[in-house]
């Protein structure tokens, strides 16, 4: 049986649950709530909490031109503070904290606008083991954020803990190669450090493209320029070189 106080203390968008308010006429659980921005108090059903924000708390009323920025802030706090958040174990549970001044949304908003925030961008920590603070945060596209979080498992090598994506970059090895090795049963160190048989490498189906003196696979070039492989292949089918398809000037292959 679920405890009636299970939602107490949780935050849903702009709404914080204060306490259980009893059951309504339809025998549904209701909660005493407060908007953490406009401080308006009211009662909401459990289902309403998960799909609405405070209707009185519009972006214009609080002078926020981008309500999505508020959601970025609220989500960041939930990951680090709310033990009931599905992401807490990967953030607050690992000791990730938030810069003191960012406890206040207006302070966070000021930093965000000065550091290049635009609607659609997401906050990203440069050091994934570091805290949410001005010197460790930047704004990135959703695609880049997804790449940074890809298979976001943490691996320890020689006392250092990093994500698989970070280790792949450090050892300059193809991400899919490491995944295949891990699936075959190799541990992370062997998967990253194992020497590739030169004969097998020569017969590999992976094709490398040279642009401005740098050689990378098609997958890696698409990652660098944040363009999907599907889009690039369509452009190349029309007769474009890879450099042209990527929009690289003075490129040569």
Rounded to two decimals, the pTM is 0.40
The answer to whether residue 229 scores a pLDDT higher than 60 is yes
Both structure tokens of 239: 């007769």
209 near 217, Cβ under 8 Å?
yes
Q: Please, which pLDDT band fits residue 201 given cuts at 50, 70 and 90?
A: very low
Q: Which residue has the higher pLDDT, 5 or 228?
A: 228
pLDDT of amino acid 246: 86
Predicted confidence (pLDDT) per residue in 130-186, tens digit? 899 999 999 887 665 555 554 456 788 887 877 777 788 788 888 778 888 887 888
Question: Looking at residue 209, what is its pLDDT?
Answer: 84
Q: Which two tokens mark 252? A: 């040569």
Predicted pLDDT of residue 198: 43
Render the burial of 127-146: b for 16+ CB within 10 Å, e for the rest.
Answer: ebeebbeeeebebbeeebee
Gap between the Cα atoms of 114 and 118, Å rounded:
10
What proportion of the chain, given as a percentage, has pLDDT over 90? 11
d(CA 73, CA 220): 32
Token pair, residue 193, equals 């450090």
User: Residue 205 — pLDDT band, cuts 50, 70, 90?
Assistant: low
- Quick: pLDDT tens for 83-117: 888 888 889 998 999 999 999 888 898 898 888 88
Look up residue 47 and give its two tokens: 């289902």
């Amino acid at each position: 049986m679920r405890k009636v106080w299970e939602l107490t203390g949780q935050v849903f968008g702009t709404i914080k649950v204060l306490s259980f308010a009893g059951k309504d006429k339809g025998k549904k659980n209701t909660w005493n709530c407060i908007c953490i921005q406009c401080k308006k108090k009211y009662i909401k059903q459990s289902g309403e909490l998960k799909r609405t924000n405070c209707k009185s708390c519009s972006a214009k009323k609080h002078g926020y031109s981008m309500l999505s920025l508020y959601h970025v802030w609220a989500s960041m706090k939930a990951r680090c503070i709310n033990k009931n958040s599905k992401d807490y174990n990967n953030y607050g549970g690992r000791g990730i904290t938030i810069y003191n001044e960012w406890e206040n949304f207006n302070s966070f908003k000021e930093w965000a606008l000065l550091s290049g925030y635009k609607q659609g961008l997401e906050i990203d920590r440069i050091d994934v083991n570091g805290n949410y603070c001005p010197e460790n945060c930047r704004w990135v596209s959703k695609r880049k954020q997804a790449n940074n979080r890809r298979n976001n498992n943490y691996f320890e090598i020689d006392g250092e803990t990093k994500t698989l994506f970070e280790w792949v970059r450090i050892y300059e090895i193809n991400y899919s190669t490491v995944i295949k090795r891990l699936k075959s049963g190799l541990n992370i160190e062997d998967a990253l450090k194992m020497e590739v048989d030169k004969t097998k490498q020569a017969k590999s189906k992976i094709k490398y493209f040279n642009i401005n003196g740098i050689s990378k696979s098609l997958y890696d070039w698409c990652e660098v320029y944040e363009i999907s492989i599907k889009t690039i292949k369509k452009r190349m089918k029309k007769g474009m070189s890879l450099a042209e398809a990527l929009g690289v000037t003075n490129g040569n292959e």
